[in-house]
Amino acid sequence: MSRLSEVDRHRAVGLLQAGLPISEVSLRMNLNRTTIFTARQRLHETDTLSDRPRSGRPRCTTQRQDRNLVRNHMKNRFPSASASSRHTRERNYQRISANTVRRHLSTSGLRARRPYIGPILTQRLRHQRTLWAQEHAAWDRIQWRSVVFSDESRFCIDHADGHVHVWRRSGERYQADCVREHDRWGGASLMMCCCTGSPKGAYALLAEACLEL
């Protein structure tokens, strides 16, 4: 059956109310007679020719499943949307796309971002770092000149670190469960160690590379 626009429905009903038979209206508008009859019936039953409200596309998940999805990502922030969609299919025997997962998480304010990568910090290490920062908060430039700053970085040789995303809200970058902790030891890698300071006003730089197998 042909689908009429609201303007055509009003035109068809207007011709019928002007006394033309359905067959004549059908010929003039090049429409099926059943379509004209249905438009007249709708006006008679609902007193309107406008489209009825539609329910839209049916949901593929329940509200409870949506809450469980968000809860699971709050417990473990690092699984990808594709992994969550596969887990949902295995658990509920229901197909759900990765885009659906992203949309539900986005509704709750969770978006995939690159995580802050930091060393593994125990409670003792956190406490020691806080004390150190408090003890040196009032140091001036002259005092800092007597300090040598050092850092190291490991470059993997036998594998790629790859890109990992974390599901978090704005402002949660350094939250404990959003930080990807890494162990800087282990595996074949190239370790670069550098230090810099200001002895007697001149900067000194030392770089050392060692191969770890």
When pLDDT is averaged across residues 75-95 and rounded to a whole number, the result is 81
- pLDDT confidence band for 136 (50 / 70 / 90): very high
Compute the distance between CA of residue 3 and CA of residue 60 in angstroms, rounded to an integer: 28
Please tell me whether residues 93 and 129 are part of one structural domain: no
Name the one residue in this structure whose structure tokens are 């990992």: 164
CATH code, 34: 1.10.10
pTM of the model: 0.44
Residue closest to 116 by CA, chosen among 77, 58, 74, 59 = 77
For residue 1, being part of any structural domain is answered with no
Question: Strand 111-113 to strand 166-168: parallel, antiparallel, or no bridges (unpaired)?
Answer: antiparallel
Give how many domains the chain has, as a whole number.
3
For residue 207, being part of any structural domain is answered with yes
Q: Is 60 helix (H, G, I), strand (E, B) or coil?
A: coil
Is a pLDDT exceeding 60 seen at residue 212? no
Please tell me whether residues 67 and 96 are part of one structural domain: yes
Residue type (1 letter), 176: A
Q: How far is CA 4 from CA 1, 13, 41, in A?
A: 9, 12, 14
Compute the distance between CA of residue 30 and CA of residue 32 in angstroms, rounded to an integer: 7
Token pair listed for 43: 């006006």
Boundaries of domain holding 98 = 63-109
Please tell me whether residues 86 and 157 are part of one structural domain: no
When pLDDT is averaged across residues 96-122 and rounded to a whole number, the result is 86
Please tell me whether residues 10 and 69 are part of one structural domain: no
Q: How many CA atoms lie within 13 A of 116 on its CB side?
A: 13
Bridge partners, residue 155, by sequence? 190
Q: Residue 121: phi, psi to the nearest 5? A: -115, 120
**17-26, 120-129, 172-181, 186-195: range with lowest mean pLDDT:** 186-195
Please tell me whether residues 189 and 173 are part of one structural domain: yes
Compute the distance between CA of residue 93 and CA of residue 145 in angstroms, rounded to an integer: 64
Q: Is 180 helix (H, G, I), strand (E, B) or coil?
A: strand
Token pair listed for 51: 């489209």
When pLDDT is averaged across residues 184-207 and rounded to a whole number, the result is 61
